[in-house]
Structure 1
Amino acid sequence: MEAKSINAELASYTAKLFRDNFGKGPQSVYVSIEHPFVTIYLRDFLAPMERVLVRQENFMKIEETRDCLMQELIPEIKATLRVTAKINIDNIYYDWSIKNRTGLLVGVITEDNDEELKSFSDYPQKQRVHDEIIKMSKQAEKAPEEVDSLYLNSRTLVVKRSGILVEIEKEFIRSGFTESLRLSKRKLEKGMLDPGTFEEILGLNVLDIFVDWDFHFDISYITFILKPQKKNSF
């Protein structure tokens, strides 16, 4: 099956999966498979019940509910990617922009490794992007032990951080407060990631910024969705 057909099939599947489980699916879904990642970008995604919570500005309740549902959906998404696209996914990261009614899923393809990521990661603004990410991380928790990044395509920039958790966060995780930590860090870090700063560095408009963590491995991914260059792009 051609790549475009696979992406279209995965987009259709994702829209139906979210519609069946959330009561309303996204208006549009964009799938991109660019090793070592699979990205699934959702637009105009807000369930009817969530609209009430938005009016009340109770965004964290929406995120908490979605996070619970995603734990049930992730195994099914992994299985579908394995059957449809013939790829194995090590982990799926996800985040939401409730105000923009968007969301992003980032799947890490199992057979790829960090060395392959580094070989495709060079771009002119790389060090300046890393400097800003390190600056934000220092303010939020501590400087990462390692930072890497790459453009998946002209509209998607992924930044990986390793070794960012401080001891109090690790204790929260050991004590079973993972979801509370995730919600708090999501709000804190995204509030500190200034789109204007990265627009100046990259020379492109930033449409969305998404952040997620694997607390067990002390890894985080920050994904920038940039203004498309083609009229038919999202």
Structure 2
Amino acid sequence: MTSQKLKKFEKLTKLQCEVLVGILLGDASLQTESNGRTYRLRISQSEQHKEYVFHLYEIFQNFTTSAPKQYVFTDPRNPRKHYSRWSFSTTQQACFRFYGHQFYTGEKKTVPKLIHRWLKPRSLAYWYMDDGAQKWKGKSLGVRFCTDNFVYQDVKGLAQVLQEKYTLKTSFEKKNENWRIYISSYSYNVLKNLIFSYFIPSMIYKFPAQSSDNPCSGYLN
């Protein structure tokens, strides 16, 4: 899409806003080269999540000029080992400015004060697809959010929003130097009813399977 045509798309749709909130809580980033006047959205995921990257590209395609690309890297610890990521960026857009100012203090990502208003079920689903995982490698119906990019107070606030807005039983624990949010298996059905319908097929594996589909589903917490 040419830059001339991109000028027609000045506002984010409701869908784009809800998805953007979720992925900014995850691994997506906003970058500015104009001292905060405009921002571009940057998406980068592992080879395993290629389909998810192209799915996000379709959502934000009206702000892009090129499709996702594969980048191959060499492991600095083992030159014989290579790994790849799929990435794309939008162009610099004023419509991302509000979110850039809300989610960043300087170059440091932070949780907006009004996240309790913006965290819709769709946002929660994309946050999970972006940065969620099964707890204890599937030996529980509990899940976790890898909130490693946020400071303790931000993680505590997010856990409180999940508990108060969606009645999810949450806790947060320290992993090395970072904090992560855990959602108890007691909240499995509530969480699944909130977010599972938004999952794309290739990301369903990230969510715990129940009963006969999961022989370990009797484990709680």
**Structure 1-normalised TM-score?**
0.23
**Structure 2-normalised TM-score?**
0.24
